[in-house]
Amino acid sequence: MSEQPEELAIPEPEGAADIIDTEYEVGQDNITAQVGPLGLDVHNPVFLISGMTIATFVVITLTLRTSVEPLFNDLRTYLTSTFDWFFLSAANVFVILCFALVITPLGNVRIGGKEATPDYGYTGWFAMLFAAGMGIGLMFFGVSEPISHYASSIGGTVVEGGVRTDWAPLGAAVTNEEAIRLGMAATIFHWGLHPWAIYAIVALSLAIFSFNKGLPLTMRSIFYPLLGERVWGWPGHIIDILAVFATLFGLATSLGFGAEQANAGLEFLFGIPVTDTSKITLIVAITAVALISVLAGLDGGVKRLSEMNMLLAALLMFFVIFVGPTLVLATGFFKNLAAYIEYLPSLSNPFGREDDNFRQGWTAFYWAWWISWSPFVGMFIARVSRGRTVREFVVCVLLIPSTVCVLWMTAFGGTALSQILNDGYLAVKDAPLELKLFTMLAELPLVQITSFIGIVLVIVFFVTSSDSGSLVIDTITAGGKVNAPVSQRVFWCIFEGLVAITLLLGGGLGALQAMAVSTGFPFAILLLLACFALLKGLMNEPK
């Protein structure tokens, strides 16, 4: 087998030369970058097919705005109602595999080789993976989701005496206190182990096959143990193209949520009206900031912004804890964690629940959304995780962020529920989803300052997602090259903003969610196959 082309060579981790199995070497004809007249370093046909298909989609959606909205809504409903069992089952497989990697000898394998050392300290590493993983979502749903579950399907229906009924796993009426536990458990379920397990599997697979096996840092490399040399042909092209689609539409969904919430916050603070023009202006402005971050590079852009956002998010969270119902929140953290563990089997059962609204309208969409994000977040986490053992990697990527999510949801959701039930503050319950955070903060001191911090957090999470997403898509379309020309990253950064604008105009958040689900479904199938490939790759590593 001939040597890898020099222009696509991946720097070999220190100490890794003695563990790279020759079975995984990249051949001369495998992946070829093509440098065009504009200085582009692309991997055809992935770049051309991805770019042209997305451009066509943008044009058609903008041209047929009035016709495509019902199509998007019907698409999401069909996928989440028909394949809800599949999404839930797949996510369960990812969680089980992660715990198996922690407790088995496979956890001793070091990413990058036996002598590899971490490229980033814990602070910078954790800040980047958390900010890229679900920052905008936590800001958008931290207050709204616990209220929604308490008041609807999970909490049951209010009957005489403040008792609620109709929650299938209990099979009996429950009190308001138990309804709160159920609502918080359901919320944590959507932001805890399952989504982070999805990210962990993709990230670990990419890291092992790139840093330990010497393959390009792109999705097709994961499937080398299953497809062999065919990963360099059309099977591999299709895998990478699906990864680009999933990443772009998953990001567009998050950017849409971010634009909705930032616009709502600006109206709350400064009276700027919530209109399509305002949202488009926001997306354009924030995309421009993301371009500056792209030009600054990974360390100068994404890393610094991520660390700044983590500091601001921590300050806002602890402010809410200390000036809100502190004792309720302090005890609530442990109660909510216990409730999550208690109800996890019922919540994650693909076949046992009778509540279609929760299983299809919430969980199936969430899992599809996380799966559509997994190429982006997984590749980004892989790039910054060399030097960690598999056990250390899984624990840090799975357990620590999940624990932080429990604390975040307890602080923001618990405060909002306390305001509703103990203070009679119903405004937060009745506010639109994108305004619930700011309505909750309005009942606490320093509302102008905290609301402004909230807007800044949404915007910077927006920027870091767009920036790191551009890096990842660029890497995929350049055949795994991590230092492709900046002009390509600029191209994809602009494209992300354009797709988000297109979907908002063509059907709002429903259209965004539909495209996330539609790309998440085929990618879930690929990820299940990736689990087998990962196990095979780890078993070939020296113990």
Is residue 18 a part of any domain in this protein? no
Is residue 419 a part of any domain in this protein? yes
Q: What angle do CA 30, 31, 35 make, to 5 degrees?
A: 150
Separation CA 24–CA 419 (nearest Å): 58
Q: Tell the residue number behind the tokens 């494209």, with chain if given.
A: 495
Separation CA 165–CA 35 (nearest Å): 64
pLDDT for position 344: 92
Query: Could you read off the pLDDT of 221-263 as tens digits, one per residue?
Result: 999 999 988 999 999 999 999 999 888 888 777 777 788 888 8
Is residue 17 a part of any domain in this protein? no
Is residue 310 a part of any domain in this protein? yes
pTM of whole model > 0.75? yes
E strands present in 115-264: 157-159, 163-165, 174-175
Separation CA 50–CA 224 (nearest Å): 22
Is residue 8 a part of any domain in this protein? no
pLDDT for position 304: 72
**128: CB partners within 8 A, 6+ apart:** 120, 302, 303, 306, 380, 381, 384, 468
pLDDT for position 354: 58
Separation CA 89–CA 73 (nearest Å): 24
**141: CB partners within 8 A, 6+ apart:** 187, 190, 191
Amino acid at 395: V
Is residue 9 a part of any domain in this protein? no
pLDDT for position 24: 42
Q: Which domain does 83 fall in, by range?
A: 29-539
E strands present in 152-206: 157-159, 163-165, 174-175
Is residue 178 a part of any domain in this protein? yes
User: b vs e for 489-511, b when ≥16 Cβ sit within 10 Å of the residue's Cβ?
Assistant: bbbbbbbbbbbbbbbbbbbbbbb
Intervals of the chain under pLDDT 50: 1-33, 35, 37, 158-160, 168-171
pLDDT for position 99: 94
Is residue 370 a part of any domain in this protein? yes
Find out whether 414 and 332 touch, Cβ atoms under 8 Å.
Answer: yes
Q: What is the CATH number of the domain that holds 351?
A: 1.20.1740
Q: Considering its fold, how many domains does the chain have in total?
A: 1
Residue by residue, DSSP assigns 350-415 as TTT---HIIIIIIIIHHHHHHHHHHHHHHHHHHHT-TT-BHHHHHIIIIIHHHHHHHHHHHHHHHH
Q: Is 80 exposed, middle or buried (0-12, 13-18, 19+ CB in 10 A)?
A: buried
| Biggest distance spanned by C-alpha atoms of the chain | 77
**37: CB partners within 8 A, 6+ apart:** none
